[in-house]
Amino acid sequence: MLQRLNWFEEARYGLFIHWGLYAELGGIWNGKSYPPGTEWIMRRAQIPLEEYKKLADTFNPVDFDAEDWAQKAEDFGCKYLCITAKHHDGFAMFDSAACDYNIMHTPFGRDVVKELSEACRRHGIKFCVYYSQMQDWADPDGDGNNWDFDPEKKDFTRYFNNKVKPQVRELLTNYGEIGMIWFDTPYDMPIHLCEELRDFVHSIQPDCIINGRIGYGLGDYRQMGDNEIPVLAYKGVWETPMTLNNTWGFSRTDEKWKSPKTVVKMLIDVVSKGGNLLMNVGPDARGNIPQGSVDVLNTVGKWLHKNGESIYGARACADFPYQMRWGGLTGKGATVYLHLLEPAFAPVHIKICNIETKAKRAYLLSTGEELKIFQSYELARDEYRFLVDYPKDKIDELDTVIVAEFEDTPVAHSLYMTFDPENAKGYAAPAMGEASTKGD
């Protein structure tokens, strides 16, 4: 694995911030609501560039406080933060000499990328930037705006050389170390330009990670679809970007936040399959992250501050053959974290079938309290069983984490092998603890 990916594999949980002029509209133009995401409103409503640009004349997020946002990211338990330096609308949220359609030419006149990069560094959060490399609805040669500009007259290479490269250079030279540059919607961008962009990034900051949406598999890791979590563990480094409601940018109408439990479940699901979750918030035009989203992510953060060991640095678990309706597993080598999310599905004890590897002990992560385990191989049923008794009075509504230590990284016993008692490398049942699993 590439060395520059080390921090990313450890981090597992990041904060995505979609913020731009579109926050002023919040999904509504001329009294009409447009479908999510709200950051697409210029294109969805085909707002003429000259009209849309007027938003820059009033953009003044007086409540913006980089220190507060970085503190929030830390409270949320996020290890990296990625902000839209330029989204598809083409407006730069940073001081750009390459194009004056940027935040310095608003009443606000402050470089939020700069302020946020410094605040993130103070809080030990990796600072990353999103940059829309193909779509640019403000540039006559950029992709996506065919209502202001004649597609026949577009020269994409001109836009690439005159805006993309100079702005990417600015982002990689003026803000210290950038953990990652997050490209998006590469569509049919020519491969040679994608390669040129990748090499260009690494010629300036060799340690800067490039996400999968540079296109053509040229990125350092695989970007899963928006809000898409793969069914099985994915061998390789990957990330799922996820909305907390149903849009990326700020919405005046959508407050349908996922619950803290849903976020924790998704995080466990993603991490158990070896991925990262990039959870989005969309600040409003005054520079406030909506309180509803803050409340949810703070609750998740509190859980993470107690149980982070089971998430940060965890690696993909083996694909065990049975569903675990009570929850899921994350792991680090021989240590496995049992996430009890739905105790109702484990009324007596937690049971995992078909872990072949021998267990050493189990304990509650929050208190260190030692828990009773039972392990057996049932020859006649050709079934491995691993049971943990958990304290019913110490349940965390969000997720109770139990640490199980095995002799080695647990492997799964296949359901598809032809049974042969001679080959069964089982234990004399029951191998550990005094209980028998008979009658279960």
Instruction: Return the percent helix, strand and coil in the chain, to nearest 5.
Output: 30, 20, 50
| Residue 179 interacting with ligand FHN (CB under 6 A) | no
Structure tokens at 273: 């399959």
Task: Please tell me whether residue 248 binds ligand FHN under the rule CB under 6 A.
Answer: yes
127 binds ligand FHN (CB under 6 A): no
| DSSP reduced 3-state for 209 | strand
Burial class (CB in 10 A: 0-12, 13-18, 19+), 88: buried
Instruction: Pick the closer one to ligand FHN by CB: 76 or 248.
Output: 248
Q: What is the dihedral of CA 389, 366, 70, 294, to 10 degrees?
A: 60
Position 52 contacts ligand FHN (CB under 6 A): no
| Nearest approach, Cβ of residue 246 and ligand FHN (Å) | 12
Of 36-44, 112-120, 310-318, 431-439, which part binds ligand FHN (CB under 6 A)?
Answer: 36-44
Stretch touching ligand FHN by CB under 6 A, among 33-41, 120-128, 263-271, 352-360: 33-41
Residue 40 CB, nearest distance to ligand FHN (Å)?
A: 6
The CA-atom distances, in angstroms, between 176 and each of 15, 102, 104, 216, 257 are 19, 20, 19, 28, 34
Does a cis peptide bond (omega within 30 degrees of 0) precede residue 290? no
Closer to ligand FHN by Cβ: residue 179 or 327: 179
Q: In the block, which residue shows the tokens 């836009």? A: 159
Selected binder of ligand FHN within 77, 241, 260, 327 (CB under 6 A): 241
**Alpha carbons 58 and 48: distance in angstroms, whole number:** 17
184 vs 399 by CB, closer to ligand FHN: 184
Which residue in the shown chain puts its C-beta closest to ligand FHN? Answer: 241
| Contacting ligand FHN within 181-240 (CB under 6 A) | 184-185, 226
Nearest approach, Cβ of residue 117 and ligand FHN (Å): 20
Burial class of residue 256, CB neighbours in 10 A (0-12, 13-18, 19+) = exposed
Under rule CB under 6 A, residue 90 binds ligand FHN: no
Shorter beta-carbon distance to ligand FHN: residue 39 or 74: 39
396 binds ligand FHN (CB under 6 A): no
Whose Cβ is closer to ligand FHN: residue 219's or residue 241's? 241
Comparison of 211 and 272: residue with beta carbon closer to ligand FHN = 211
CB 214 within 8 A of CB 3: no
For residue 121, give both structure tokens.
């560094």
Of 39, 143, 269, 284, the one binding ligand FHN (CB under 6 A) is 39
CB of 213 to ligand FHN, least distance (A): 8
* Of 185 and 246, CB closest to ligand FHN: 185
- Binding part of the chain for ligand FHN, among 34-42, 322-330, 332-340, 348-356 by CB under 6 A, reads 34-42
Q: Which residue, 36 or 301, has its beta carbon nearer to ligand FHN?
A: 36
Range 190-194, long-range pairs (CB < 8 A, 24+ positions): 190/156, 191/215, 191/216, 191/218, 193/156, 193/157, 193/160, 194/218
> Which one of the spans 35-43, 105-113, 119-127, 338-346 is the region binding ligand FHN (CB under 6 A)?
35-43
Dihedral pair phi/psi, residue 187, rounded to 5°: 40, -120
Q: How far is the CB of 69 from ligand FHN (least distance, A)?
A: 18
Helices 165-173 and 191-204, packing angle to 10 deg: 20
Q: What are phi and psi of 303, to 5 degrees?
A: -65, -45
Which residue stretch of 32-40, 99-107, 269-277, 409-417 sits at the interface with ligand FHN (rule: CB under 6 A)?
Answer: 32-40
Q: Judged by CB under 6 A, how many residues of this single chain contact ligand FHN?
A: 8
Q: Which of 87, 413 has the CB closer to ligand FHN? A: 87
For the CB of residue 218, give the shortest distance to ligand FHN in the complex, in Å: 17
Nearer to ligand FHN, 188 or 420 (CB): 188
Query: In the complex with ligand FHN, which residue's Cβ is closer, 39 or 136?
Result: 39
- Which residue in the set 20, 37, 219, 308 belongs to the binding site for ligand FHN (CB under 6 A)? 37
Nearest to 429 by CA among 394, 365, 379: 379
DSSP-assigned letter for residue 231: S
Which of 183, 136, 171, 170 shows the shortest CA–CA distance to 156?
136
Minimum distance of ligand FHN from residue 161's CB (angstroms): 23
Structure token pair of residue 63: 């409540």
* DSSP character string of 88-127: TT--BSS--SS-S-BGGGSSS---HHHHHHHHHHHTT-EE
288 makes contact with ligand FHN (CB under 6 A): no
Q: What angle do CA 119, 122, 128 make, to 5 degrees?
A: 55
Which residues make up the interface to ligand FHN (CB under 6 A)? 37, 39-40, 184-185, 226, 241, 248
